[in-house]
Protein backbone atom coordinates (compact mmCIF):
# COMPACT_ATOMS: atom_id res chain seq x y z
CA UNK A 1 0.00 0.00 0.00
CA UNK A 2 2.74 2.38 0.79
CA UNK A 3 6.20 2.92 -0.45
CA UNK A 4 7.78 2.27 2.92
CA UNK A 5 9.50 -1.10 2.65
CA UNK A 6 12.55 0.26 0.92
CA UNK A 7 15.34 -1.26 2.97
CA UNK A 8 18.97 -0.64 2.21
CA UNK A 9 18.51 -1.20 -1.52
CA UNK A 10 16.77 2.06 -2.18
CA UNK A 11 19.98 3.64 -3.36
CA UNK A 12 21.28 0.64 -5.25
CA UNK A 13 20.93 2.47 -8.53
CA UNK A 14 22.31 5.81 -7.54
CA UNK A 15 26.00 6.17 -8.31
CA UNK A 16 27.74 7.39 -5.20
CA UNK A 17 24.89 7.11 -2.75
CA UNK A 18 24.93 9.82 -0.13
CA UNK A 19 26.22 8.69 3.24
CA UNK A 20 22.91 8.69 5.03
CA UNK A 21 20.72 5.90 6.27
CA UNK A 22 18.41 5.16 3.36
CA UNK A 23 15.42 4.49 5.56
CA UNK A 24 15.49 8.13 6.56
CA UNK A 25 12.53 9.72 4.87
CA UNK A 26 12.52 13.50 4.53
CA UNK A 27 9.26 14.05 2.66
CA UNK A 28 6.38 11.66 2.67
CA UNK A 29 2.92 11.75 1.12
CA UNK A 30 0.10 9.43 2.14
CA UNK A 31 -3.14 9.28 0.23
CA UNK A 32 -2.41 12.79 -1.00
CA UNK A 33 -5.23 14.37 -2.98
CA UNK A 34 -5.62 17.65 -4.77
CA UNK A 35 -9.11 17.87 -6.21
CA UNK A 36 -10.29 20.99 -7.96
CA UNK A 37 -14.00 21.76 -8.26
CA UNK A 38 -15.21 22.25 -11.83
CA UNK A 39 -17.71 25.07 -11.89
CA UNK A 40 -20.28 25.87 -14.50
CA UNK A 41 -19.86 29.10 -16.44
CA UNK A 42 -23.20 30.54 -15.36
CA UNK A 43 -23.86 33.19 -12.76
CA UNK A 44 -24.51 30.61 -10.07
CA UNK A 45 -21.13 28.90 -10.61
CA UNK A 46 -22.45 25.58 -9.47
CA UNK A 47 -19.90 22.85 -8.94
CA UNK A 48 -20.49 20.41 -11.75
CA UNK A 49 -17.63 18.00 -11.22
CA UNK A 50 -14.30 17.28 -9.65
CA UNK A 51 -10.94 17.36 -11.37
CA UNK A 52 -8.66 14.88 -9.66
CA UNK A 53 -5.24 16.39 -10.37
CA UNK A 54 -3.59 14.38 -7.61
CA UNK A 55 -5.66 11.42 -6.54
CA UNK A 56 -4.29 9.32 -3.74
CA UNK A 57 -0.51 9.54 -4.00
CA UNK A 58 1.74 7.55 -1.66
CA UNK A 59 5.34 8.57 -2.01
CA UNK A 60 8.46 8.75 0.15
CA UNK A 61 11.46 10.90 -0.66
CA UNK A 62 14.59 9.82 1.15
CA UNK A 63 17.07 12.23 2.64
CA UNK A 64 19.85 13.01 0.21
CA UNK A 65 18.37 11.27 -2.79
CA UNK A 66 17.15 12.57 -6.12
CA UNK A 67 13.70 11.30 -6.87
CA UNK A 68 12.73 11.74 -10.51
CA UNK A 69 9.01 12.27 -11.12
CA UNK A 70 7.90 11.57 -14.67
CA UNK A 71 4.62 11.46 -16.50
CA UNK A 72 2.86 13.06 -19.41
CA UNK A 73 1.35 16.51 -19.40
CA UNK A 74 -1.73 16.65 -17.24
CA UNK A 75 -0.77 13.65 -15.10
CA UNK A 76 -0.53 15.86 -12.01
CA UNK A 77 3.22 15.80 -11.47
CA UNK A 78 3.56 19.58 -11.10
CA UNK A 79 0.51 19.75 -8.87
CA UNK A 80 2.03 17.02 -6.71
CA UNK A 81 5.28 19.01 -6.44
CA UNK A 82 3.31 22.09 -5.44
CA UNK A 83 1.15 20.17 -2.98
CA UNK A 84 4.21 18.78 -1.18
CA UNK A 85 5.20 22.39 -0.41
CA UNK A 86 1.55 23.37 0.10
CA UNK A 87 1.79 25.86 -2.74
CA UNK A 88 -1.57 24.36 -3.60
CA UNK A 89 -3.72 23.11 -0.73
CA UNK A 90 -4.13 19.36 -0.61
CA UNK A 91 -7.80 18.38 -0.32
CA UNK A 92 -7.03 15.07 1.31
CA UNK A 93 -4.27 12.91 2.72
CA UNK A 94 -1.14 14.05 4.47
CA UNK A 95 2.32 15.40 3.69
CA UNK A 96 5.04 14.89 6.26
CA UNK A 97 8.21 16.95 6.11
CA UNK A 98 10.98 15.74 8.39
CA UNK A 99 8.42 14.25 10.77
CA UNK A 100 6.08 17.25 10.81
CA UNK A 101 2.60 16.98 9.33
CA UNK A 102 2.71 19.89 6.92
CA UNK A 103 -1.00 19.82 6.21
CA UNK A 104 -1.77 20.73 9.83
CA UNK A 105 0.53 23.75 10.10
CA UNK A 106 -0.73 27.32 10.37
CA UNK A 107 0.59 30.04 8.06
CA UNK A 108 3.40 31.18 10.30
CA UNK A 109 4.73 27.68 10.92
CA UNK A 110 4.37 26.96 7.22
CA UNK A 111 6.46 29.97 6.31
CA UNK A 112 9.25 28.84 8.66
CA UNK A 113 9.14 25.43 7.07
CA UNK A 114 9.23 26.80 3.54
CA UNK A 115 12.69 28.13 4.18
CA UNK A 116 13.79 24.51 4.22
CA UNK A 117 12.22 23.79 0.86
CA UNK A 118 13.14 25.57 -2.37
CA UNK A 119 11.60 25.49 -5.80
CA UNK A 120 13.16 25.89 -9.24
CA UNK A 121 10.64 26.61 -11.98
CA UNK A 122 10.46 25.78 -15.65
CA UNK A 123 10.76 29.09 -17.35
CA UNK A 124 13.53 31.17 -15.84
CA UNK A 125 12.31 34.16 -17.81
CA UNK A 126 8.83 34.06 -16.35
CA UNK A 127 9.89 33.18 -12.82
CA UNK A 128 12.29 36.09 -12.39
CA UNK A 129 10.97 39.61 -11.92
CA UNK A 130 12.32 41.61 -14.87
CA UNK A 131 12.45 44.82 -12.83
CA UNK A 132 14.59 43.42 -10.06
CA UNK A 133 18.32 42.93 -10.17
CA UNK A 134 19.82 39.53 -9.53
CA UNK A 135 20.89 40.74 -6.09
CA UNK A 136 17.34 41.80 -5.21
CA UNK A 137 15.92 38.53 -6.49
CA UNK A 138 18.40 36.31 -4.68
CA UNK A 139 18.35 38.25 -1.42
CA UNK A 140 14.56 38.36 -1.12
CA UNK A 141 14.32 34.96 0.60
CA UNK A 142 17.03 36.12 3.02
CA UNK A 143 14.91 39.13 3.97
CA UNK A 144 11.66 37.19 4.15
CA UNK A 145 13.13 34.59 6.45
CA UNK A 146 15.27 37.09 8.35
CA UNK A 147 18.40 35.10 7.60
CA UNK A 148 21.05 37.79 7.27
CA UNK A 149 20.43 40.99 9.10
CA UNK A 150 22.76 43.61 7.66
CA UNK A 151 22.77 44.81 4.09
CA UNK A 152 26.44 43.97 3.90
CA UNK A 153 25.90 40.45 5.18
CA UNK A 154 23.14 39.87 2.68
CA UNK A 155 25.32 41.12 -0.16
CA UNK A 156 28.03 38.69 0.90
CA UNK A 157 25.57 35.82 0.99
CA UNK A 158 24.27 36.72 -2.48
CA UNK A 159 27.83 36.71 -3.82
CA UNK A 160 28.38 33.33 -2.18
CA UNK A 161 25.22 31.93 -3.73
CA UNK A 162 26.07 33.23 -7.18
CA UNK A 163 29.49 31.64 -6.97
CA UNK A 164 27.89 28.41 -5.86
CA UNK A 165 25.82 28.22 -9.05
CA UNK A 166 28.74 29.19 -11.27
CA UNK A 167 27.96 32.85 -11.87
CA UNK A 168 30.36 35.73 -11.41
CA UNK A 169 29.26 37.66 -8.29
CA UNK A 170 29.89 40.81 -10.32
CA UNK A 171 26.60 40.17 -12.18
CA UNK A 172 24.56 40.87 -9.04
CA UNK A 173 23.49 44.30 -10.20
CA UNK A 174 22.28 43.11 -13.60
CA UNK A 175 18.71 42.43 -14.70
CA UNK A 176 17.31 39.12 -15.98
CA UNK A 177 17.10 40.26 -19.61
CA UNK A 178 20.88 40.62 -19.68
CA UNK A 179 21.29 36.87 -19.19
CA UNK A 180 20.97 33.83 -21.41
CA UNK A 181 18.41 31.14 -20.53
CA UNK A 182 20.98 28.97 -18.82
CA UNK A 183 22.31 31.85 -16.75
CA UNK A 184 18.78 32.85 -15.76
CA UNK A 185 18.13 29.33 -14.60
CA UNK A 186 21.29 29.54 -12.49
CA UNK A 187 19.89 32.69 -10.89
CA UNK A 188 16.66 30.80 -10.20
CA UNK A 189 18.64 28.02 -8.55
CA UNK A 190 20.64 30.52 -6.48
CA UNK A 191 17.39 32.02 -5.23
CA UNK A 192 16.00 28.61 -4.38
CA UNK A 193 19.15 27.85 -2.38
CA UNK A 194 19.13 31.14 -0.48
CA UNK A 195 17.28 29.76 2.53
CA UNK A 196 19.69 26.82 2.79
CA UNK A 197 16.92 24.36 2.05
CA UNK A 198 17.09 20.61 2.70
CA UNK A 199 14.64 19.92 -0.07
CA UNK A 200 14.57 21.29 -3.60
CA UNK A 201 11.72 20.78 -6.06
CA UNK A 202 12.84 21.26 -9.67
CA UNK A 203 9.74 21.52 -11.83
CA UNK A 204 10.74 21.08 -15.49
CA UNK A 205 13.84 23.08 -14.62
CA UNK A 206 15.65 22.28 -17.86
CA UNK A 207 12.71 22.08 -20.26
CA UNK A 208 13.19 25.51 -21.81
CA UNK A 209 16.95 25.26 -22.24
CA UNK A 210 19.04 24.25 -25.24
CA UNK A 211 20.61 20.82 -25.16
CA UNK A 212 24.17 21.97 -24.47
CA UNK A 213 22.90 24.27 -21.70
CA UNK A 214 20.63 21.58 -20.24
CA UNK A 215 23.72 19.48 -19.62
CA UNK A 216 25.38 22.38 -17.79
CA UNK A 217 22.37 22.82 -15.50
CA UNK A 218 21.98 19.07 -14.88
CA UNK A 219 25.63 18.84 -13.88
CA UNK A 220 25.25 21.87 -11.63
CA UNK A 221 22.25 20.36 -9.84
CA UNK A 222 24.10 17.12 -9.20
CA UNK A 223 27.18 18.89 -7.92
CA UNK A 224 25.11 21.09 -5.63
CA UNK A 225 23.23 18.11 -4.32
CA UNK A 226 26.41 16.27 -3.36
CA UNK A 227 27.99 19.35 -1.89
CA UNK A 228 25.01 20.54 0.11
CA UNK A 229 23.43 17.18 0.85
CA UNK A 230 20.17 18.26 -0.78
CA UNK A 231 17.14 16.10 -1.28
CA UNK A 232 15.82 16.66 -4.77
CA UNK A 233 12.48 16.10 -6.42
CA UNK A 234 13.22 16.36 -10.13
CA UNK A 235 9.97 16.71 -12.06
CA UNK A 236 10.35 16.35 -15.81
CA UNK A 237 8.80 14.88 -18.90
CA UNK A 238 12.30 14.17 -20.22
CA UNK A 239 12.87 10.56 -19.27
CA UNK A 240 16.50 10.50 -20.39
CA UNK A 241 17.33 13.44 -18.14
CA UNK A 242 15.40 11.92 -15.24
CA UNK A 243 17.18 8.62 -15.69
CA UNK A 244 20.47 10.47 -15.64
CA UNK A 245 19.99 12.51 -12.47
CA UNK A 246 17.77 10.30 -10.34
CA UNK A 247 18.51 7.70 -7.71
CA UNK A 248 14.90 6.57 -7.85
CA UNK A 249 12.12 7.27 -10.33
CA UNK A 250 8.39 7.63 -9.71
CA UNK A 251 5.97 7.43 -12.64
CA UNK A 252 2.63 9.23 -12.51
CA UNK A 253 -0.48 8.55 -14.52
CA UNK A 254 -3.72 10.43 -14.11
CA UNK A 255 -3.03 11.73 -10.62
CA UNK A 256 -1.52 8.59 -9.14
CA UNK A 257 1.98 7.21 -8.71
CA UNK A 258 1.77 3.93 -10.63
CA UNK A 259 5.37 2.79 -10.38
CA UNK A 260 8.35 3.74 -8.27
CA UNK A 261 11.75 2.24 -7.71
CA UNK A 262 15.50 2.45 -8.26
CA UNK A 263 16.31 4.41 -11.43
CA UNK A 264 18.03 1.46 -13.11
CA UNK A 265 15.07 -0.84 -12.45
CA UNK A 266 12.32 1.55 -13.50
CA UNK A 267 14.41 2.87 -16.39
CA UNK A 268 15.50 -0.50 -17.79
CA UNK A 269 13.05 -3.07 -16.49
CA UNK A 270 9.75 -1.33 -15.84
CA UNK A 271 6.98 -3.57 -14.53
CA UNK A 272 3.92 -1.37 -15.06
CA UNK A 273 2.60 -1.45 -18.65
CA UNK A 274 2.27 2.32 -18.71
CA UNK A 275 5.92 2.81 -17.79
CA UNK A 276 6.85 0.30 -20.46
CA UNK A 277 4.90 2.21 -23.11
CA UNK A 278 6.28 5.54 -21.97
CA UNK A 279 9.88 4.35 -22.11
CA UNK A 280 9.40 2.67 -25.46
CA UNK A 281 8.32 6.00 -26.93
CA UNK A 282 11.46 7.89 -25.91
CA UNK A 283 13.63 8.32 -28.98
CA UNK A 284 17.36 7.77 -28.51
CA UNK A 285 20.02 9.34 -30.73
CA UNK A 286 21.23 6.09 -32.27
CA UNK A 287 19.84 5.40 -35.74
CA UNK A 288 20.50 1.65 -35.58
CA UNK A 289 18.67 1.33 -32.24
CA UNK A 290 15.83 3.52 -33.45
CA UNK A 291 15.29 1.45 -36.58
CA UNK A 292 15.26 -1.78 -34.62
CA UNK A 293 13.02 -0.55 -31.85
CA UNK A 294 9.51 -1.78 -31.23
CA UNK A 295 7.30 1.01 -29.94
CA UNK A 296 4.34 0.22 -27.75
CA UNK A 297 1.80 2.61 -29.21
CA UNK A 298 -0.97 3.27 -26.72
CA UNK A 299 -4.56 3.44 -27.82
CA UNK A 300 -6.37 6.75 -27.55
CA UNK A 301 -5.64 9.71 -25.34
CA UNK A 302 -5.21 10.06 -21.60
CA UNK A 303 -8.68 10.18 -20.02
CA UNK A 304 -9.71 13.46 -18.43
CA UNK A 305 -8.81 13.77 -14.75
CA UNK A 306 -12.44 14.81 -14.33
CA UNK A 307 -13.55 11.34 -15.42
CA UNK A 308 -11.07 8.87 -14.01
CA UNK A 309 -11.83 5.27 -15.08
CA UNK A 310 -12.96 2.87 -12.37
CA UNK A 311 -10.52 0.35 -10.98
CA UNK A 312 -7.12 0.69 -12.60
CA UNK A 313 -6.98 4.13 -14.17
CA UNK A 314 -4.71 2.92 -16.96
CA UNK A 315 -6.98 0.09 -18.05
CA UNK A 316 -8.65 2.01 -20.89
CA UNK A 317 -5.34 2.18 -22.74
CA UNK A 318 -3.59 -0.86 -21.35
CA UNK A 319 -2.76 -3.63 -23.83
CA UNK A 320 -2.98 -6.24 -21.06
CA UNK A 321 -6.21 -5.20 -19.34
CA UNK A 322 -8.13 -8.19 -17.94
CA UNK A 323 -11.05 -9.01 -15.62
CA UNK A 324 -10.06 -7.41 -12.32
CA UNK A 325 -8.89 -4.15 -13.87
CA UNK A 326 -12.25 -2.30 -14.01
CA UNK A 327 -13.23 -3.57 -10.56
CA UNK A 328 -10.20 -3.24 -8.33
CA UNK A 329 -8.11 -0.10 -7.89
CA UNK A 330 -4.59 -1.54 -7.78
CA UNK A 331 -2.30 -0.68 -4.89
CA UNK A 332 1.47 -0.31 -5.20
CA UNK A 333 3.03 -3.69 -4.51
CA UNK A 334 6.61 -4.98 -4.58
CA UNK A 335 7.64 -6.19 -8.05
CA UNK A 336 10.87 -6.85 -9.93
CA UNK A 337 13.96 -5.38 -8.32
CA UNK A 338 14.27 -4.70 -4.57
CA UNK A 339 12.56 -1.44 -3.77
CA UNK A 340 10.53 -1.45 -6.99
CA UNK A 341 6.77 -1.03 -6.60
CA UNK A 342 4.07 -1.05 -9.25
CA UNK A 343 0.30 -0.69 -9.18
CA UNK A 344 -0.71 -3.42 -11.58
CA UNK A 345 -2.86 -6.53 -11.31
CA UNK A 346 -0.50 -8.49 -13.55
CA UNK A 347 1.57 -8.95 -10.40
CA UNK A 348 -1.36 -10.20 -8.36
CA UNK A 349 -4.64 -8.53 -7.64
CA UNK A 350 -4.03 -6.23 -4.70
CA UNK A 351 -6.06 -3.14 -3.98
CA UNK A 352 -9.43 -1.89 -3.02
CA UNK A 353 -12.64 -2.66 -4.87
CA UNK A 354 -13.81 0.08 -7.17
CA UNK A 355 -17.25 1.60 -6.93
CA UNK A 356 -16.75 3.59 -3.79
CA UNK A 357 -16.74 7.25 -4.63
CA UNK A 358 -13.67 9.15 -3.65
CA UNK A 359 -11.52 6.08 -3.12
CA UNK A 360 -8.43 7.42 -1.45
CA UNK A 361 -5.46 5.19 -0.93
CA UNK A 362 -3.60 5.34 2.28
Partner 1 sequence: MSATLLEVADLRVRLRTPRGPAEVVNGLSYTVGRGETVAVVGESGSGKSVSVLALLGLLPARLATVTGSARLDGEDLLTMSPERLRQVRGPGVGMVFQDPMTSLNPVLTIGRQLVEGIRAHGEVSKAAARERAAGLLAEVGLPDPRRALDRYPHELSGGMRQRVVIAIALANNPSLLIADEATTALDVTVQAQILDLVAGLQSEHGTGVIWITHDLGVVAGIADRVLVMYGGRCVEDGTVDDVLERPAHPYTRGLLGALPDLASSDDGELATVPGVPPAPTDLPPGCVFWPRCPVRSDPRCATEQPPLAVVGASDGALPHRAATWCEEGSPR
Residue 337 binding partner 1, by CB under 8 A: no
Contact code string over 185-214 relative to partner 1, x by CB under 8 A: -------------------------xxxxx
- Choose the binding region for partner 1 from 54-62, 78-86, 105-113, 285-293 (rule: CB under 8 A): 285-293
- Choose the binding region for partner 1 from 120-128, 154-162, 259-267, 319-327 (rule: CB under 8 A): 259-267
* DSSP designation for 344: -
Contact code string over 218-237 relative to partner 1, x by CB under 8 A: xx--x--------------x
Which listed residue (1, 36, 72, 276) binds partner 1 by CB under 8 A?
A: 72
Distance CA 293, CA 274 (A): 17
- Choose the binding region for partner 1 from 2-10, 80-88, 89-97, 271-279 (rule: CB under 8 A): 271-279
Report the C-alpha dihedral over residues 348, 351, 357, 361, rounded to 10 degrees. -140
Residue 35 binding partner 1, by CB under 8 A: no
Residue 294 binding partner 1, by CB under 8 A: no
DSSP SS3 for 249: strand
Residue 249 binding partner 1, by CB under 8 A: no
Residue 153 binding partner 1, by CB under 8 A: no
Ordered DSSP codes for 105-173? --HHHHHHHHTTEEEE-S-TTTSS-TTS-HHHHHHHHHHHTT---SHHHHHHHHHHHHHHTT--GGGGG
Residues contacting residue 44 through CB under 8 Å, at least 6 positions apart: none
Is the Cβ of residue 152 or residue 212 nearer to partner 1 in the bound state?
212
- Given a contact cutoff of 8 angstroms between Cβ atoms, the answer to whether 163 and 172 are in contact is no
- Given a contact cutoff of 8 angstroms between Cβ atoms, the answer to whether 30 and 60 are in contact is no
| # of chain residues touching partner 1 (CB under 8 A) | 50
Residue 99 binding partner 1, by CB under 8 A: no
DSSP SS3 for 331: coil
Amino acid sequence: MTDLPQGPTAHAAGAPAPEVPTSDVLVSARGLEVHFPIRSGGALRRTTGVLRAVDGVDLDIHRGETLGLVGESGCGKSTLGNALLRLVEPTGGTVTFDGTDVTALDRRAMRALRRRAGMVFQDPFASLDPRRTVRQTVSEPLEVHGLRSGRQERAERVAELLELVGLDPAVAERYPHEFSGGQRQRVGIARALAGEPDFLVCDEAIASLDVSVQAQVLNLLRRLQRRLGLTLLFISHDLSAVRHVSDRIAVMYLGRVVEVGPAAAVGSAPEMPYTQALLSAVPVPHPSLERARQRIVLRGDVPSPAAVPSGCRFRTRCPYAFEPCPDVDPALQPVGAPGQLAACHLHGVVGRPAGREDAAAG
